[in-house]
Structure 1
Amino acid sequence: MPILGYHYGPDWNQELYQATVDRILPDRNDLPSGLIAHYAAPGEGGGWQVVEVWESAQHHDRFIRERVMPAAQELGAPPFETKVTEVYNSLVAK
């Protein structure tokens, strides 16, 4: 079942996000298994937010555990919140 992952770091910014992405995805043509979509933007009240859609919670959790957390720790990044829920519906414009 596809899931939507929402990540918010109140102490994150675009530079820290980009440094993390550069470490975990050095080749944008080699995306992680199970990733359907990824969007990132400043938070409404500051910080940084990421919204992703994954084929399954297992794909999402493995990527966070094996790639994101080690990179964030290497960069000394502050913690971020994660919420995961099943996708009910999706509409994608062409």
Structure 2
Amino acid sequence: MNKQRIFVAGHRGMVGSAIVRQLAQRGDVELVLRTRDELDLLDGRAVQAFFAGAGIDQVYLAAAKVGGIVANNTYPADFIYENMMIESNIIHAA
């Protein structure tokens, strides 16, 4: 039986780590995890290259730039832009 290869983007965050815990209990999947240092989701070419060679069957997108209340209020456009770039790069490459 071939295991489904599942990429969880943002696996170190609160939501992503909960997804990983649940999926790991199944035993019938192979989790594919990359840290920010291993794969910069803001780099469209890097994301394309990753997906081209990884054989991913499913994607859970929990990655995001996050900050506290002050950072979110001070730099709202930066947060929106970076989060939309992450989403766009993954959707386009997947």
After TM superposition, the score normalised by the length of structure 2 is 0.31
Kindly indicate which of the two structures has a greater share of residues assigned to strand.
1
Kindly indicate which of the two structures has a greater share of residues assigned to helix.
2
Structure (1 or 2) with the larger CA radius of gyration: 2
After TM superposition, the score normalised by the length of structure 1 is 0.31
